């Protein structure tokens, strides 16, 4: 398939990307004739065209406000003199994607890339929100490289239950753990299920969706404030209108994603990831987005960044507050201002100028305690630490800001689960040989293993220990974890067990040692014994249905966590 345009060197609007009939004039004539069936005038059809992705779906409550956002974005485009054209792409909701939403992220990225390249548009407004959607859209936009602006759907408002403030989905997990421990009844769980997600929009803790929205703002790819305004507020609608107008300016200036998403812009986004105590998924997604532009995210540099960057935002699951509180405390512009020289303010924003302009306009809210100054951080070092060692030669990730300080140096006996099914079957058995000092190990849950690298890294505390009041244990896997989860949990052990990574060699009773300060994660088994085990290892069977279709493509092409779990063939060829 060719992506060249036959009409002129720089075709615009309706003339872009003509369908190939061997006669460019006829192609344009036919296109105009068909689109006029929708009632457009010649004046409208001669305007710059802004595509607007419609990711509304009845299966996706995080995108429940998309129709209102589209209407406002269209208004913004028209006020700026352009023609808005809405079109559908895949929509993915966390809880409605089997086997995982991550399995489908790259499919959505392909859909987004090809549809914004195939259809005639001078710029595109990418409306996304639920965890994998904005990463998919930015991956696609980076590869297509036409002017683009992200419009997040925005976070939900908080819920309330018996005097407590609740948020999806940190409190979903906390209350479920109480239920497992026998402290909440079925009836109470039914009642609370109607309180945890009280409005349309994305999870309102600093989970993956909020993390990605904040990082996108720091990256310069959405308007200031657009990452944090609640989904249901009037300001969200105004942000949509402004995004539509901004898209026209981006088109006029030829401001493509590759001009905004520079290496320094990614460093800004990763600095923010540390400063917000953000989701571990943020690293995987932005590694994938950067990879589309040929920019490698080096794990060790990210870890060093973490030593300098304090956690300044006090949001669940690392802290106390919720996204609406962060927004009204000044949101991302205030955070960027507080981060000071840790941010490269010369980087561009889709808002027009640079991040220096964004910071200059930041609101100062007296008395707020959600965004701390650097002199009084929540945590001195950043939220995420990269571990190396013989259990993760390609790296593993620990969210220190949500972990138990007493477990930062810990040695214990391995209790191994061979798969998610194995874990589900045995974790609550009364005869499971486990104590609070042990290390729970889950394997074959990585990119290829599960497949789709599910958010299974939040291994539940075995029921018999939960009933004794055990709240946290050291847990290790090659899986991911929801950004809304908390605990001393080592994730993304690379390479994964399913391709023979060292996690595959661990046996029940082995000693494992974590030293977070030294950034080490080691299996205390000698090299000779490990070599013996490796010679006996056989890869796990492929899942049902692996002989064809998207699953086959996924298994053949998916990369490891340190390459963003993107498909190898979607990354640009190295010169």
List contacts with ligand FES (CB under 6 A).
62, 93-94, 130-131, 202-203, 207, 209
Nearer to ligand FES, 130 or 299 (CB): 130
Q: How far is the CB of 277 from ligand FES (least distance, A)?
A: 17
Q: How far is the CB of 317 from ligand FES (least distance, A)?
A: 13
Contact 327, 210 (CB under 8 A): no
Nearer to ligand FES, 275 or 485 (CB): 485
The backbone region for 367, taken as left when phi is positive above 0, alpha when psi lies in -120 to 50, beta otherwise, is left
CB neighbours of residue 284 within 10 Å:
27
Q: How far is the CB of 167 from ligand FES (least distance, A)?
A: 10
Nearer to ligand FES, 8 or 95 (CB): 95
As a whole number of angstroms, the distance between CA 12 and CA 125 comes to 17
Contact 92, 104 (CB under 8 A): yes
As a whole number of angstroms, the distance between CA 435 and CA 262 comes to 48
Q: How far is the CB of 320 from ligand FES (least distance, A)?
A: 19
Residue 39 is given by DSSP the state: T
Strands (E), 350-463: 384-387, 396-399, 409-417, 439-442
As a whole number of angstroms, the distance between CA 219 and CA 265 comes to 5
Nearer to ligand FES, 216 or 560 (CB): 216
- Three-state SS at 300: helix
Which residues are CB-contacts of 544 (< 8 A; sequence separation ≥ 6)? none
Nearer to ligand FES, 86 or 131 (CB): 131
Q: How far is the CB of 207 from ligand FES (least distance, A)?
A: 6
Q: How far is the CB of 215 from ligand FES (least distance, A)?
A: 14
**Per-residue tokens: 293:** 């532009």
Beta pairing class for 164-166 and 159-161:
antiparallel
Q: CA-based angle 326:328:333, to the nearest 5?
A: 70
**Cα–Cα separations (whole angstroms), residue 229 to 78, 180, 204, 248:** 23, 34, 11, 22
Nearer to ligand FES, 203 or 565 (CB): 203
Q: How far is the CB of 166 from ligand FES (least distance, A)?
A: 14
Q: How far is the CB of 410 from ligand FES (least distance, A)?
A: 30
Nearer to ligand FES, 61 or 564 (CB): 61
Starting at the edge strand found earlier in the chain, the sheet holding 148-152 runs 83-88, 49-54, 123-128, 148-152
Which residues are CB-contacts of 424 (< 8 A; sequence separation ≥ 6)? none
Q: How far is the CB of 159 from ligand FES (least distance, A)?
A: 13
Nearer to ligand FES, 209 or 485 (CB): 209
Nearer to ligand FES, 389 or 454 (CB): 454
């Amino acid at each position: 398939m060719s992506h060249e345009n036959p009409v002129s060197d720089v075709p615009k609007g309706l003339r872009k990307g003509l369908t190939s009939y061997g006669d460019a004039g006829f192609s344009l004539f036919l296109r105009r004739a068909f689109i006029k069936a929708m009632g457009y005038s010649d004046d409208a059809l001669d305007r710059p065209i802004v595509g607007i992705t419609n990711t509304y779906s009845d299966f996706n409550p995080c995108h429940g406000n998309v129709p209102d956002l589209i209407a406002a974005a269209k208004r913004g485009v028209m006020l700026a003199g352009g023609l808005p054209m809405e079109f559908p792409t895949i929509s993915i909701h966390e809880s409605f994607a089997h086997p995982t939403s991550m399995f489908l992220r790259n499919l959505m990225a392909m859909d987004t890339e090809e549809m914004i390249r195939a259809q005639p548009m001078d710029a595109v407004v990418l409306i996304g929100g639920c965890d994998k959607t904005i990463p998919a859209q930015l991956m696609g936009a980076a590869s297509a490289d036409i002017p683009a602006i992200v419009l997040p759907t925005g976070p939900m408002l908080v819920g309330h239950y018996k005097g407590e403030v609740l948020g999806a989905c940190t409190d979903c997990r906390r209350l479920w753990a109480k239920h497992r421990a026998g402290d909440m009844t079925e009836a109470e769980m039914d009642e609370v299920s109607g309180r945890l997600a009280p409005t349309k929009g994305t999870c309102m803790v600093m989970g993956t969706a909020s993390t990605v929205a904040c990082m996108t703002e720091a990256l310069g790819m959405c308007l200031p404030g657009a990452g944090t305004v609640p989904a249901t507020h009037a300001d969200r609608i105004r942000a949509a209108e402004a995004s539509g107008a901004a898209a026209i300016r981006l088109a006029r200036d030829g401001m493509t994603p590759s001009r905004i998403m520079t290496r320094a812009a990614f460093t800004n986004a990763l600095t923010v990831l540390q400063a917000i105590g953000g989701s571990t998924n943020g690293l995987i997604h932005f590694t994938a987005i950067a990879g589309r532009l040929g920019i490698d995210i080096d794990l060790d540099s990210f870890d060093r960044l973490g030593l300098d960057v304090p956690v300044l935002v006090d949001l669940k699951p690392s802290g106390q507050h919720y996204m609406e509180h962060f927004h009204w405390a000044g949101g991302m512009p205030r955070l960027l201002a507080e981060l000071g020289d840790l941010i490269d303010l010369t980087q561009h924003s889709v808002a027009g100028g640079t991040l220096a302009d964004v910071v200059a306009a930041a609101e100062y809210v007296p008395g707020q305690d959600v965004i701390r100054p650097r002199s009084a951080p929540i945590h001195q070092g950043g939220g995420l630490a990269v571990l190396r060692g013989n259990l993760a030669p390609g790296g593993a990730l620990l969210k220190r800001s949500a972990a138990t300080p007493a477990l930062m140096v810990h040695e214990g006996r391995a209790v191994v689960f061979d798969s998610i099914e194995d874990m589900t079957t045995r974790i609550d058995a009364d005869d499971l040989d486990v104590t609070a000092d042990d290390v729970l190990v889950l394997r074959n849950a990585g990119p290829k293993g599960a497949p789709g690298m599910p958010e299974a890294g939040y291994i539940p505390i075995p029921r018999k220990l939960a009933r004794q009041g055990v709240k946290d244990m050291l847990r290790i896997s090659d899986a991911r974890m929801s950004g809304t989860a908390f605990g001393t949990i080592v994730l993304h052990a690379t390479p994964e067990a399913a391709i023979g990574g060292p996690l595959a060699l661990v046996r029940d009773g082995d000693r494992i040692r974590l030293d977070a300060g030294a950034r080490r994660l080691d299996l205390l088994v000698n090299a000779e014994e490990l070599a013996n085990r490796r010679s006996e290892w056989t890869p796990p069977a492929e899942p049902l249905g692996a002989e064809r279709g998207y699953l086959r493509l996924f298994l053949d092409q998916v990369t490891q966590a340190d390459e963003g779990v993107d498909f190898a063939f979607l990354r640009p060829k190295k010169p």
